[in-house]
Amino acid sequence: MRNSTQPQFQNHAPDDGTLARAESMRILMRWMETGEFPDRMLGGIPPFRRPFAMDLTYTAVRRCRALDWVLELFMRHRPENAATQAALLLGAAQILEMPSVAPHAAVSATVEALKLVAGSGAQTGLVNAVLRNLLREPARVASRLASATLAVRSSHTDEQTERWTKRFGTERARALLEWDDTPACVTLLPLPGRTTAAELLRTLTEAGVGATPHPGRPDEAVCIPHGSHVDSLPGFADGLFTIQDPATLEAVRLLEVRPGMRVLDACAAPGGKTAGIAARMECRGELFAMDCWRDRLGPLRKNLERLRFDSFVEVGVGDAKRCRAGDFRGAHGAGGPLFDRILADVPCSNTGVQRRRADARWRFDPARLASLAETQAAILENLATGLLKPGGRIVYSTCSIEPEENEEIVEAFLARHSGRFELKAKTALVPPDFSCDGAFAAAIERKA
């Protein structure tokens, strides 16, 4: 007979919470080692674990500078082991930034996840001790954060914090930094002609989804709780809505497409703006969706298929800096004419969407900004001068709030082509205005 006073050990399969933490830990390790995009590493996680793993990953990446600042209180040296670093960051993120996670789970399940990831090399004793100290000494943690600079407290780079403070002033910059650190809700945009924001809200509410009108654009968008399973929502399979911020509507609005036009979306993936254009064209005319990265065409096609636009939109790979009008064959098989409308939603620094793209702030630097500006100028130059018909309109857009990528690109283009092109309208959104992401769009017409 076993002695009941002795501890009994059983092997239990890890639960989904532990497995999600392990998945997130592996992503954090790869991100720290290679700089890969965390959002692209989430695709292999099962859908029922993905929302929690995504929340864990984005919170840890977003707040890593502030978390590292606090963790230094409880360690003499930063551990060299990547798994240990990731476990500490992940545990601190749950304890300090995710109040919905029970404190005991933040420690115990993170330690268990570390065992799954690192095996016999797991430094579980160190991770357990440091995380428990975080829980025991909240006053010390608060004092440590209070002593930090604004850049550290808001978990941004010094360069970005100083740039925004100089440009917007201290209070506006602080509001922008705080916005970046606020997890984004999931935002649904109803497709024109299929439903409205009010109808979508009613449908979701009747299904028991905690949906609310968008706080800044209640007539245009609906918010659902962070971490929701979007693909199980009513209307998802029927293609009633896209998943994107209302700020993305600005570029599509300025494009002013109509049924029967010949239109190019030159940097189209993942396809949210493409869908908005197709809906406004009522699937009449010709719409080409192009992207320079072949691996991004799969998600683009999948989105268009869900939204029932796959038979209307012609999808292909192409470089917006070098493509020519003859590259687009069109309905009749031959090289087509010039375009009535072109959307150039160019690659950018993503400084307007840093709350959604948690790693973007760590990739920001002046050299990269200058390199991006060269690419952006080349795309606008090629598309506007080589593919746009006289009297046609091109919309240049970014999800950046940096003038080097926005106003300066457009102004330089118009100066080079004085008398040939004309600025018709532009818009610039800076968070937290309208509770929207940051975005820039400029409508340029080629004179007839």
- Residues classed as catalytic: 399
Peptide bond into 270 cis (omega under 30): yes
- Contact assessment for residue 264 and residue 288, using Cβ atoms and an 8 Å cutoff: yes
- In the chain, what's the furthest Cα-to-Cα distance? 96
- Contact assessment for residue 424 and residue 396, using Cβ atoms and an 8 Å cutoff: no
Q: Residue 392 burial by CB count (10 A; 0-12/13-18/19+): exposed, middle or buried?
A: buried
CA distance 358 to 38: 8
CA distance 254 to 257: 9
- Contact assessment for residue 330 and residue 252, using Cβ atoms and an 8 Å cutoff: no
3-state secondary structure (DSSP) of residue 212: strand
Alpha carbon of 350 to those of 96, 127, 374, 391, 437: distances in Å?
A: 26, 34, 16, 31, 10
- Contact assessment for residue 391 and residue 400, using Cβ atoms and an 8 Å cutoff: no
| Residue 264 CB neighbours (<10 A) | 29
Among 126, 98, 132, residue whose Cα is nearest residue 114: 126
Take residue 19 and report the two structure tokens written for it: 């497995």
Residue position matching structure tokens 């036009």: 261
| Helical pair 366-386 and 407-416, crossing angle rounded to 10 deg | 40
Percentages helix, strand, coil for the chain (3-state, rounded to 5) are 50, 15, 35
Among 113, 119, 125, residue whose Cα is nearest residue 21: 113
- Contact assessment for residue 400 and residue 363, using Cβ atoms and an 8 Å cutoff: no
| Residue 364 CB neighbours (<10 A) | 19
